[in-house]
Amino acid sequence: MGFPKVALRGGTYYWRKKITVAGTCLTLSLPLRTGNFNSACSIALRLGTAVETLRMAYGQSSGMGPDRLKRVFSDAMRWQLQRIFEDQAGSRAPAGEHATTNSIHAEAWSFLAQNGPDAK
């Protein structure tokens, strides 16, 4: 899975990743809009997966210049970050229902963590 590339600047974590696409080195950096390390790591891992998927799609040659590649990747990662933030917000269900569902899942995972996978 790897380590998330997060850095704390002020009170906000930022995601930073260096990638090579079609022989061009790109540095991407986005604010994660959170001061919570665990949330930042979760978001960073999702962004890392998305950027690797996009990088593989471009392959060895893209026919684009370095500036255009940087713009394409930056825009794609901003879109992906917005999608991550809106995962629950985009649902028509009330926010209170999300909180209830999330707490039930958290309790279930805590129970499994304490008692092992065969717990009943």
The mean pLDDT value of the chain amounts to 78
Mean pLDDT of 51-79: 79
Distance between CA atoms of 78 and 98, rounded to whole angstroms? 24
Distance between CA atoms of 59 and 113, rounded to whole angstroms? 40
In this prediction, residue 13 carries a pLDDT of: 93
Q: Give the predicted TM-score (pTM) of the model.
A: 0.62
Question: Residue 89: pLDDT above 60?
Answer: no
Domain ranges of the chain: 6-115
